[in-house]
Amino acid sequence: MVAVASSIERAAAGIKSSAVLDFLRKPKQLLIDGKWVPAKSGKTFQTFNPANEEVLALAAEGDRADVDEAVKAARRALEGKWSSIGPHQRAGYLLRMADLIEKHVDELATLESLNNGMAISLANRMTNGAASTFRYYAGWATKIYGETNPSDPSMFNYTLREPVGVCGQIIPWNGPISMFSWKIAPALACGNVSVIKPAEQTPLTALRLGELLLEAGIPEGVVNIITGYGETAGAAIAEHPGIDKVAFTGSTEVGKLILRASTGNLKRVSLELGGKSPNIVFADANMDECLPTSLSGFTTLSGQVCCAGTRVFVQRDFHDEFVERLTTRAAQAKAGDPLDPQTTIGPLVSKEQFERVRGYLDIGKKEGAEPKLGGDVRKGKGYFVDPTIFTHVRNDMRIAREEIFGPVASVIPFKDENDAVLQGNDTTYGLAAAVWTNDVRRAHQVARALKAGTVWVNCYNNIDPISPFGGYKQSGIGRELGKQSIDLYTQVKSVYLKL
Ligand code: NAP
Ligand code: MG
């Protein structure tokens, strides 16, 4: 314990918030059936601060046996107390949760930044966004309707929209608080129960949110939190015969494993996967807006964003000037201390990601792309990578096809609208895309032609819980957020009554 305590002092050096320090010092256990318990195996794993590589905490290493307990508790809640709780009361829990998140926004954002490395300003925005998501789905709880159908006069036929049941929810490390809200809020609004597994790199904020859910009065067993590894705890969730639906956000590779594992009991599956999103810039665009937004499009969260605009397509005549101007701006945007309010780019989340990005920078150079800016990772403590801009990239190079998940963009010229759309769509992914132009006809035509779940016109990375988010092609199955999430978390029953 002494070793852990001194490690916390080093890992969270400079943190004054007693709420954050108190939380870090507490044991990190699993939430099962409304109680905090150690993993049955007694095992724990280390979680780090990626800005200084120090151990921030030990978390319980849940595995199959803990998932089993959590699924039993969830099933009991679903078939017991939770099923008798009406929509107004469910809305009440979600509203209280939104209030609690806002009340603790500084603490949550600091924890998120410490564990993930994200810039504190972004952590604050994303935490407030999570409160909005809880509030938005609180509104839905009382507005989930069935229908009466125009049946034969001898019949009365109506539909009921019912919860899917026990939901297994597996979330990634990029935006842990945000991802928790996207999964838990709609699931509970629709009357489901959850077994949720945060990513191994970032278990902490999910645990703090678990405490807040209990404070909001959520009955025991409705939300169970299992920290642990994907290959064990995650795989157990994906396969579990007692889980009715699995919702996953993460890599396309693991998404395919989840889909395969779901066949045992034909779980409902929704997947939010990777992307290689095109950001298409026409020469007539407003450059004062386009340049800073295109930069943040691939550097926000150090580029560890599924919808990052990493392929920047620029109209040929304007390409060289655009590259100059983007490079000048990007050169000023260095990665720095994530807890400094002025910082816009923090470190990458882990050593693994750091090595992965370093690998892609080498691959890009070997393939013949030229780093106009950057091109290497930083030396020293912490997983810092400054922005890299590659030119002389062909759309068939690996750096233009594969998800790098670092602050790395490839700038590629295009001839005209048709060429921009052809190149933009030439990818196995289809999560997001953007088009910059002042020509309204062209904006709508290109938005229609792009094969992506979200298209931004003259903006980037805007996400609001009112609007669906998800992928075309190998970027996923299903849509989260908006009313589409209500479809994911409900199933329809048709009732015939003979008159
Ligand atoms: P990942 O393995 O797909 O992780 C996402 C979640 O799935 C984590 O909770 C993970 O648990 C879990 N998981 C891993 N293997 C599993 C399995 N066999 N069965 C069930 N669950 C499993 O992603 P990663 O390894 O963290 O990152 C690798 C790459 O994926 C990144 O470089 C990036 O390109 C991409 N990625 C994309 C997104 C996105 O939002 N689209 C998010 C994260 C990563 P553990 O954390 O415990 O392993
Ligand atoms: Mg993993």
pLDDT digits (tens, 9 = 90+) for 480-493: 999 999 999 999 99
Which of 61, 115, 170, 201 has most ligand 1 atoms within 8 Å of CB, for mutation?
170
- Please tell me the distance from the alpha carbon of residue 456 to that of residue 450, in angstroms, as a whole number: 11
Q: What is the pLDDT of residue 9?
A: 87
Mark whether 272 is an active-site residue. Answer: yes
Burial of residue 317 (CB within 10 Å: 0-12, 13-18, 19+) is: exposed
Q: What is the pLDDT of residue 6?
A: 77
- Please tell me the distance from the alpha carbon of residue 55 to that of residue 346, in angstroms, as a whole number: 18
Q: Is the Cβ atom of 64 under 6 angstroms away from ligand 1?
A: no
Structure tokens, 20: 């954050």
Structure tokens, 469: 């988010």
- pLDDT above 90 coverage of the chain, percent: 98
Give how far Cα 338 sits from Cα of 1, 42, 46, 240, 242, Å: 27, 33, 21, 38, 41
**What are the two backbone dihedrals, phi and then psi, of residue 3, each rounded to the nearest 5 degrees?**
-60, -45
CA of 352 to the centre of ligand 2 (A): 10
Which of 173, 237, 251 has most ligand 1 atoms within 8 Å of CB, for mutation?
251
N residues, the chain: 499
Q: Is the Cβ atom of 199 under 6 angstroms away from ligand 1?
A: yes
Strand (E) or helix (H) holding 156: strand 155-163
Determine the angle formed by the axes of helices 87-103 and 176-189, rounding to 10 degrees. 160
The residues whose Cβ lies within 5 A of ligand 2, an ion, are 230
**What mean pLDDT is reported for the chain?**
97
Confidence of residue 7 (pLDDT cuts 50, 70, 90): confident
Q: Is the Cβ atom of 306 under 6 angstroms away from ligand 1?
A: yes
Ligand 1, closest atom to CA 235?
19
Residue 256 has pLDDT above 90, yes or no: yes
Confidence of residue 2 (pLDDT cuts 50, 70, 90): low
Residue 3 has pLDDT above 80, yes or no: no
pLDDT in tens, 150-179: 999 999 999 999 999 999 999 999 999 999
Q: Please tell me the pTM assigned to this model.
A: 0.98
- Please tell me the distance from the alpha carbon of residue 4 to that of residue 9, in angstroms, as a whole number: 9
Which of 179, 196, 254, 472 has most ligand 1 atoms within 8 Å of CB, for mutation?
254
**What are the two backbone dihedrals, phi and then psi, of residue 491, each rounded to the nearest 5 degrees?**
-135, 155
Q: Is the Cβ atom of 176 under 6 angstroms away from ligand 1?
A: no
Residue 1 has pLDDT above 60, yes or no: no
Structural domains in the chain?
Answer: 2-273+476-494 (3.40.605.10), 278-466 (3.40.309.10)
Residue 394 has pLDDT above 60, yes or no: yes
Residue 187 has pLDDT above 90, yes or no: yes
Cα dihedral 124/216/22/131 (nearest 10) = 0
Mark whether 190 is an active-site residue. Answer: no
Q: What integer is the mean pLDDT of 473-477?
A: 98
Q: Is the Cβ atom of 274 under 6 angstroms away from ligand 1?
A: yes
Residue 5 has pLDDT above 90, yes or no: no
Instruction: Determine how β-strand 193-197 pairs with β-strand 223-225.
Output: parallel
Contacts of 258 (CB under 8 A, 6+ apart): 170, 238, 246, 248, 269, 271
